[in-house]
Structure formats: structure tokens, C-alpha cells
Amino acid sequence: MTIIYEVDLAIDVDIAEAHARWLDAHVREMLGFAGFLEAEILDRRDPPAESGWVARCVRYRLADHASLDAYLRDHAPRMRAEGIARFGEQVRASRRILAVAARY
């Protein structure tokens, strides 16, 4: 069963360009993990970002839940820590996991 792993980001506008460059490399690294099939970076339009912030979402498609479990166990702590170390409170992240129920 295909899994969608989404990371919603609120990015301080002052670091948005630097974060975008970092995020590109970060996503490419994520796609190197077993079971990660594709990713897209989306600019959120609605609801709009808070004043002074940029809203983005990274959506990953994974082959199965076992791939996500392996990522969360083996790689997520380091990957998340790198972003926090670099950007601190200038980036806020929340995550959600979705399972594809039907595809048309």
C-alpha cells in the first residue's frame, strides 16, 4: 500500500531563500532512502501563511509503510536535527502520514 508522508513547513521569510536551497538538497537525500519513490515541494496558497512567514509542504510518496517505519527509526532523528541545527525556531514543521485508499 502506497504511503504519503507530508511535512508542513512554516518558514521565516528572512531565511526563505536559504531554506529553499537547503530543502532541495534535503529532499534529494530523502529520495535516496529505501522505499522513497518521489517527492514534491508545494507552496501552500490556502490558508495563507502568517504575516512574515512562507508556508510550504513537502509530500513524499513511499512504496509501503515498512519503508516509512525504517526511515522513522533509522534516519528521521538525524534528518530532523540537521534542519533544527541550521534554522532553529525560524522553521516550524508538522507531519502527517496518509495511506492511499484508492487511485484513479
Could you give the number of structural domains in the chain?
Answer: 1
In a domain, 104, yes or no: no
In a domain, 41, yes or no: yes
Q: DSSP secondary-structure letter at 51?
A: T
- pLDDT at 1 (0 to 100): 84
Cell of 71: 526511515
Domain span holding position 34: 3-99
Q: Answer yes or no: are the C-beta atoms of 72 and 3 closer than 8 Å.
A: no
In a domain, 26, yes or no: yes
pLDDT (tens digit per residue) in 33-56 = 999 999 999 999 999 999 999 999
In a domain, 12, yes or no: yes
Residue 74 host element (H or E): helix 65-74
Q: What residue type is 89 in one-letter code? A: E
Dihedral sign from CA coordinates of 85, 33, 17, 9: negative
Tell me the whole-structure pTM to 2 decimals. 0.93
What is the CATH classification number for the domain harbouring 55?
Answer: 3.30.70.100
Residue 103 has pLDDT above 90, yes or no: no
